[in-house]
Structure 1
Amino acid sequence: MAGAHNGSKAAAEGLIAKFQVGKLLKQDQQGRRITVLGTIDGEQGILIAERAAFATESLEVLQAFHAAITRVKNLGDNDIYRWYLASSNGKSQTSEETQQDLKVNLIWPCTAQHIKKYSDQQVRMVTETPDIYKQHVRPFMQAKREEGRLNWVFNILEGRTEQEDVIMRDPGHGPEDSFLMLPDLNWDRKTLSSLHLLALIDRRDIWSLRDLKKSHIPWLRYLRQRVLEATVSIYPGLEQDQLKLYVHYQPTYYHFHIHVVNVMLEAGATQSTGKAFGLENLISQLETMSGDENTSMADVDLTYYLGEASELWTDIFAPLKQGAQPSKTQ
């Protein structure tokens, strides 16, 4: 048997064409790798296929990649954010023969802050004490909100944009309970193993997990249960214990929202320690904290990571590390 598998290079390459697809065993890396069971000459084999990394060695290569993008289909847009499906093979056919294998996001016009956020950079772990939060980070959050950074969120909540993408609105027991759900812009909206939804609350008084208090525990439990129920109702191929709910700190924008993902989704940077805080763990932490109903997550140390290009690092934590006062909060 071993000799049959030690043929020439050409023979080895020919095995791929002879592979008879049986069934999908697994899809991972957010849909970029598949594992398929099949046969070659009547014997079972496993084919593992992974999309190659993007070629980035020169400006010309990047330009050629852009020129090859075809069959662009807009999935939605809001304010400066737009997202699409497209084909990367440069063919202009409109039939299903040309697969839309690209998920493309466009931010336009973008700001200097966007460029910093999406640039490759070193990261630092920081510990935000209650004092640092109150003196420096909270004013930073307020300044960002006042710059209009939440316009796109309010557009959705107030029914001006993306209403075709809203998959559920829950009025709750009143304005403080209501929320809506929609697909995250990074999900292709069809691969359940990489499912990623957002639950946006209507109330405006909770900017981040720092605003959560012991008095919010019943609301958080209600929110968690309704989000789980809604998700499995909309996607019956999933069960509640196949879902993971978390919030970010620091979040990308300062309006409380919950990420809902398939537990099989491989944990990248946005789900890692120092970025993602499990909703159930936050509820448990609030329950076990001593104090009255006003005791909050603003009263604890939080350790998380920041990119060195982040304003939080350059304007607050880097100066504090050097023993100086943050320049914008003196």
Structure 2
Amino acid sequence: MTSMADKCASVNDVDCPPTKKTKLDNENTIENSDEKNTVENADEKQPNGETELNLSNFEVTRVLQNNCARKMICVEGKFEDREDPAVVLLEQKSFSYDKSTLKKGYFNENTVFRKYLANDIYKNYDCFPTEEYNSLHATVIYPATQSHIDKYKKQELYIIDETYELYEQVTLPHIESKSFSLEWVTNILEHKAEQETIIYEDRDNDTGFVLVTDLKWDGQRDTLKLLALPFQKIKSLRELDASHLPLLKNIRDAGIKAISEKFNVPASQLRIYLHYQPSYYYLHVHFCNLMFEAPGIYAEKAHLLSTVIRNLELMSDYYKKAVLTYVVFKDSPLYEKFKSHGALQTMCESH
């Protein structure tokens, strides 16, 4: 679902933001927090035997967000003869690097150009490519819970400086109180799903992991995005200590080697990082092409794996002492908990 150019890091950015913010990867109470577990394709049969979803029968009730930077719109609505709401995301696809594909799709006799502005050497057109090449990427979440709807609704962001004390008093109890489904992770690790996406696998219980291509990757080298899922069950960055260094170094080294051999992308062109807060509480490492401005790569979200390793080499319990800064979304459960705890300033102080 991620777009290619001039993108903001979040589905919850303002319509045309001057700055980039972090993607809504917070838990936001999504029980099946990753899209792997919630997205259904429009041409997929429903498990209850109902007819296929058809966007021509979709009625929009409201726009949750119109993100011009990411060329994406999120809408809430309902399908005919269905009671439950749905969330639909429409996003522009990336362009091909293949010259013949570009010629066939955008620069042929059937392409329509309508000029609407000209100034010296600069001219602007509305371009209507051939039907085969003017499709959008559509993601359908059905049935959508209120949590799904809230996830894609534009919301205000607030910065949290989380000490380890705050983690123990607020964040950890919140995590433990929720029943986040991680079945999709188990399915990958046990070869029950997404076997075709596995790029590399090391079955060691302590240092092993599975490297898979991200389901949202569009197949282009410049937007390469993969995910490393370890067999060790670790909630998040906060639980890491020096005992995990063999695991982290194996993910780094073996992941880099596998990507170099499979996709011909060198280590110097890879961004390798972890999220905190993550979208789901099973430690995972992101690998993406440095050319790709993937969601969640900004300062309030991403922690480079190389930096995490060095921090743990310097201090074995670094992440039990460090202050970690991230954003929470207004009215999310974690926002409310920090606000009740008195750790979140939401009003400007008068002087």
Q: What TM-score do the two structures reach when normalised by structure 2?
A: 0.60
Whether contact under 8 Å (1:247, 1:257) holds in the other structure is yes
Q: Distance in 2 between matches of 1:235 and 1:100?
A: 28
Q: Mean alpha-carbon deviation: is it higher for 295-304 or for 80-89?
A: 80-89
Is there any run of 5+ residues in structure 2 with no aligned partner, and where? 7-14, 16-34, 44-89, 94-129, 345-351
Change over 3 Å in CA distance of 1:240–1:212 after alignment to 2: same
* Pair 1:110-2:144 in alignment: yes
Letter in 2 for 1:160: K
Question: How much identity, in percent, do the aligned residues show?
Answer: 33
Whether contact under 8 Å (1:83, 1:185) holds in the other structure is no
List per-residue Cα deviations over 1:150-186 (Å, max 9, x = no partner).
1222222222222222222222xx2112211222232
Is there any run of 5+ residues in structure 1 with no aligned partner, and where? 1-28, 34-55, 57-76, 90-95, 324-330
**Residue 219 of structure 1: how far off its partner (Å):** 2.2
* Pair 1:217-2:249 in alignment: no
Match of 1:165 among 186, 189, 197: 197
Change over 3 Å in CA distance of 1:186–1:232 after alignment to 2: same
Whether contact under 8 Å (2:300, 2:326) holds in the other structure is yes
Q: Distance in 2 between matches of 1:186 and 1:247?
A: 17
Change over 3 Å in CA distance of 1:244–1:230 after alignment to 2: same
List per-residue Cα deviations over 1:182-227 (Å, max 9, x = no partner).
2223221x211111111111111x1101111022223211211111
List per-residue Cα deviations over 1:259-294 (Å, max 9, x = no partner).
1111111255x11111111111111111222xxx5x
List per-residue Cα deviations over 1:119-176 (Å, max 9, x = no partner).
10110001111111112211211223xx2421222222222222222222222xx211
* Pair 1:131-2:165 in alignment: yes
Larger RCO, structures 1/2 (Cα 8 Å, 6+ apart): 2
Whether contact under 8 Å (2:3, 2:92) holds in the other structure is no
Q: Secondary structure at the match of 1:133?
A: helix
Q: What TM-score do the two structures reach when normalised by structure 1?
A: 0.64
Whether contact under 8 Å (1:30, 1:193) holds in the other structure is no
Match of 2:280 among 245, 249, 253: 253
Match of 2:207 among 145, 152, 177: 177
Q: Secondary structure at the match of 1:164?
A: helix
Q: CA-atom RMSD, angstroms?
A: 3.0
Q: Distance in 2 between matches of 1:141 and 1:240?
A: 34
Change over 3 Å in CA distance of 1:161–1:30 after alignment to 2: same
State the partner residue of 1:310. Answer: 332
Structure 1 or 2: more helix by fraction: 1
